[in-house]
A and B are shown apart, each in its own frame.
Chain A
Amino acid sequence: MTRRAPRPRIPIALLLPALLGLVFLVLPLVGLLVKAPWRSLPAELSSAEVWQALRLSLICATAATAISLVLGVPLAWLLARTEFPGRRVIRALVTLPLVLPPVVGGVALLLVLGRNGIVGRWLDSAFGITLPFTTPGVVVAEAFVAMPFLVISVEGALRAADPRYEEAAATLGASRLTAFRRVTLPLIAPGVAAGAVLAWARALGEFGATITFAGNFPGTTQTMPLAVYLALENDPEAAIALSLVLLAVSITVLVGLRGRWLSAT
């Protein structure tokens, strides 16, 4: 009963850089906590604008995640399970927003979906839809930046999943779509959930593409990161307070979900 595996000794050469890495990643967050204006925090956070920005952030990040799920899961399946010419290039293009500066993404979105954009002009004249400076615009900007996170983790899960289950389903008469829905999807559910959480967290923190494409107006397009940035212009304490809220929300979600879905252990 009490038999324990001998604890492996960690080599110093690994431990030291590991601890340094940990400090490097965690210290800025500690700084935020230390510098936080705890006394005036309730007053800072009770303003209507804060809740407006937080509510908008949560709604838009969730909507962006939903779009990412609807479009990203099939895209990941296409990349993982099919062979077609140019698949590698497509895969690189799909993951491009991961490394692209978000502001560049915002500019690109503006040039395509803006009022004078290639697609935006047509959307405007045919349907009267303009995306910049609207809440759906925020969702579009966030989805653009966040979807690759979902695609990557779902694709990884698909590659790890044994395709023989799908083949077995096919031999039993299931169509490819049925096999995907009844066999593959349950198999990769943890991967999809992990991707969704990552995408959601990324969307929640999105700044560059949002401010470039959707602009900044309280209640319509001003999400928390934008509110933090503008508060920093003349009220650093408010900016810290807002950052704390965003930090708390992100940590709660990541910690709450990590145990269930994000890792196999």
Chain B
Amino acid sequence: MPTTRIRTAAAALVALALAGGLSACGSSAKSSSAGSSSSAAAASSSGPAVKGTITVFAAASLQDAFTALGKSFEAAHPGTTVKFNFGGSSALAQSIVSGAPADVFAAASPATMKTVTDAKGAADTPTVFVRNTLEIAVANGNPKHLTSLQSLAAPGVKVALCAQQVPCGAAAVTALKLGNVNLTPVTLEQDVTSALTKVELGEVDASIVYQTDVKSANGKVAGVNFPEAAKAINDYPIADLAKAPNPDGAKAFEQYVESPAGLAVLTAAGFQLPSASSAAPSAAAS
């Protein structure tokens, strides 16, 4: 019968509206209590008691480590949800500058962070929390016997690089220059993960990615170290954002990332800790 159907539909709608209203009340109550308690708790050494959603924009290369970090952060801070937007650092920086509602930005290079700080988008001075070294990713077993940066320039070797506009591309160009290698890649990918994927799929023979990417591929690709990588290290800065919808959450997440527990997750993923001298922000902005 159509009437009963309408009635059930109406009942469902009312129920939905009620549930929605209730949950809205609940969340607003939660957030207001969080707001009052966080200011008190912030002073304590255990860090601010935070609630609500924390939106983190992070470089694509941080995806695995940060996903793990987000889960343990949520466990350590009940009532919080960490949402990630992973992508090319430059694109993320652009969307932050254009007003994307983000709380924390973790970039793969000081240059991309500079886009945000130049636009007065950061709430604090960015700090370098980890560094990442380049590595050559090749198919398992290294069928083309690629052992050095120079071997990538051999005829018949297909290489995918990151576009120069993104940090992994900029670092790769630095390394190639240092090694005096004149390389014509078949493609310039828009972030490091897509460069790695092209190796995983076997469409290219090699790509220059980060050590952490090779590690996170879980044995689907092999890594080849090269000496020039030592001079093309990328620093990863992190900052709270000026227009953060959840400033307490932003602070707490950044502190968590830089805590021994957070750094342990990152080093396990293959990141290196910055040496004391290079910890200064904007050191490698050039």
Contacts and interface: CB of A to CB of B under 8 A. Distances in A.
Contact of A116 (B158, B160, B163, B202): B202
Contact of B201 (A110, A133, A232): A110
B202 A215 contact: no
B88 interface: yes
Interface in B86-132: 88, 90-91, 94, 115
Nearest to B185: A217
Contacts of B88: 233
A215 B160 contact: yes
Interface in B11-38: none
Contacts of B189: 215-216
A32 B193 CA distance: 31
A220 B203 CA distance: 16
Interface in A113-155: 114-116, 132-133
A229 interface: yes
Contacts of A111: 201
Interface in B166-189: 166, 185-189
- Binding site secondary structure of chain B: loop
A194 interface: no
A234 B201 contact: no
B190 interface: yes
A133 B187 CA distance: 6
A194 B198 CA distance: 37
Interface string A211-254: 10011111011100000011111101000000000000000000
Contacts of A133: 158, 186-187, 203-204
A138 B204 CA distance: 17
B210 to A, nearest CB: 18
A229 B204 CA distance: 23
B190 A230 contact: yes
A181 B93 CA distance: 56
Contacts of A215: 160, 186-189, 198
Contact of A216 (B90, B94, B187): B187
Interface residues of B, number: 21
Contacts of B187: 133, 214-217, 221
B201 A233 contact: no
Contacts of B185: 217
A207 B189 CA distance: 13
A12 B166 CA distance: 51
B165 interface: yes
Contact of B203 (A110, A211, A230): A110
Nearest to B187: A215
Contact of B115 (A115, A214, A234): A234
Contacts of B203: 110, 114-116, 132-133
A217 B185 CA distance: 8
B163 A216 contact: yes
Contacts of A218: 188
B202 A233 contact: no
Nearest to A212: B194
A217 B202 contact: no
A221 B187 CA distance: 8
Contacts of B165: 230-231, 233-234
Given A233-B88, A233-B94, A233-B166, A114 B190 contact: no
Contacts of A229: 190
A53 B204 CA distance: 23
Nearest to A114: B203
B116 to A, nearest CB: 12
Contacts of A221: 187
A133 B90 CA distance: 24
A111 B201 CA distance: 8
B91 A233 contact: yes
Interface in A167-184: none
Interface in A35-49: none
A115 B143 CA distance: 15
27 contacts: A111-B201, A114-B203, A115-B203, A116-B202, A116-B203, A132-B203, A133-B158, A133-B187, A133-B204, A214-B187, A215-B160, A215-B186, A215-B187, A215-B188, A215-B198, A216-B163, A217-B186, A221-B187, A230-B163, A230-B165, A230-B190, A232-B91, A232-B94, A233-B94, A233-B166, A234-B90, A234-B115
Interface of A: 110-111, 114-116, 132-133, 211, 214-218, 220-222, 229-234, 236
